[in-house]
């Protein structure tokens, strides 16, 4: 089994996720290279970030819906080293039930597109209530988990760093082969 780094933080709640300084620092320290912050919101990170948000209120680099932005980057052949995903609560449901049957939810569609904008040593950081959102089915392994205890009646927040299983980080520098993420797993991407 791979080693997973655990961090436990105590930090009172804030309006914006990255207004929690310890959590923001953890995210910055677990990012590398060119960072795509796909649900950027208000708080700027101390990394080389490209900020996308469907709202123009906090002046992102690109005002666009997340799935549309990913499709644009794929079309342009644009790649990043880290993707940060801090979606609104309503989007965190990966599977939704419709007339008794499950269909793929909005956030899952976004997760499916993310590997296609990642460079070889790609990292994905999710903020939410789950670990392993990218999962082995998309070719990723959990490398670090940060649990934030907010106290009071608030749920904990989980930060999760997943790394590509074809990256040098995962393979301990034993391989420099390039494998197309699209060849890994069997997941739905509708064009």
Ligand X SMILES: C[S@@+](CC[C@H](N)C(=O)[O-])C[C@H]1O[C@@H](n2cnc3c(N)ncnc32)[C@H](O)[C@@H]1O
Position 88 contacts ligand X (CB under 6 A): yes
Instruction: Compute the least distance from the CB of residue 29 to ligand X, in Å.
Output: 16
Instruction: Compute the least distance from the CB of residue 65 to ligand X, in Å.
Output: 4
Instruction: Compute the least distance from the CB of residue 69 to ligand X, in Å.
Output: 7
Phi, psi of 184 (to 5 degrees): -95, 135
Q: 124: buried, middle or exposed (CB in 10 Å: 19+, 13-18, 0-12)?
A: buried
Position 65 contacts ligand X (CB under 6 A): yes
**16, 22, 102, 103: residue in contact with ligand X (rule CB under 6 A):** 16
Which tokens hold the place of 109? Answer: 């569609």
- Residues pairing with 6 in the sheet: 145
Position 53 contacts ligand X (CB under 6 A): yes
Position 62 contacts ligand X (CB under 6 A): no
- The percent helix, strand, coil of the chain (3-state, each to 5) is 25, 30, 45
Residues in contact with ligand X, shown as a per-residue x/- string from 31 to 50 under the rule CB under 6 A: --------x-xxx-------
Q: How far is CA 59 from CA 18, 41, 42, 64, 186, in A?
A: 16, 9, 9, 11, 36
Interacting span for ligand X (CB under 6 A) from 14-22, 72-80, 134-142, 173-181: 14-22
Position 17 contacts ligand X (CB under 6 A): yes
Contact in structure between 162 and 123 (CB atoms under 8 Å): yes
Which tokens hold the place of 44? Answer: 């700027």
CB nearer ligand X, residue 24 or residue 139:
24
CB nearer ligand X, residue 149 or residue 171:
149
Would you tell me which residues interact with ligand X (CB under 6 A)? 16-18, 39, 41-43, 53-55, 65-66, 86, 88
């Amino acid at each position: 089994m791979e080693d997973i780094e655990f961090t436990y933080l105590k930090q009172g709640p804030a309006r914006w996720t990255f207004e929690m300084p310890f959590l923001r620092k953890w995210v910055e320290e677990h990012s590398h290279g060119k960072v795509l912050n796909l649900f950027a919101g208000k708080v700027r990170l101390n990394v080389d970030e490209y900020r996308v948000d469907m709202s123009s209120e906090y002046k992102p680099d690109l005002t666009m819906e997340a799935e549309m932005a990913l499709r644009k980057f794929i079309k342009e052949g644009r790649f990043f080293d880290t993707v940060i995903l801090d979606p609104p609560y309503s989007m965190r449901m990966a599977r939704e039930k419709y007339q008794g049957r499950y269909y793929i939810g909005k956030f899952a569609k976004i997760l499916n597109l993310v590997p296609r904008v990642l460079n070889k040593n790609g990292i994905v950081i999710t903020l939410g209530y789950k670990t392993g959102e990218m999962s082995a089915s998309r070719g990723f392994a959990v490398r670090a988990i940060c649990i934030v205890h907010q106290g009071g009646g608030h749920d904990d927040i989980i930060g999760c760093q997943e790394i590509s299983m074809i990256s040098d980080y995962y393979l301990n520098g034993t391989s420099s082969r390039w494998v197309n993420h699209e060849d890994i797993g069997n997941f739905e991407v509708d064009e």
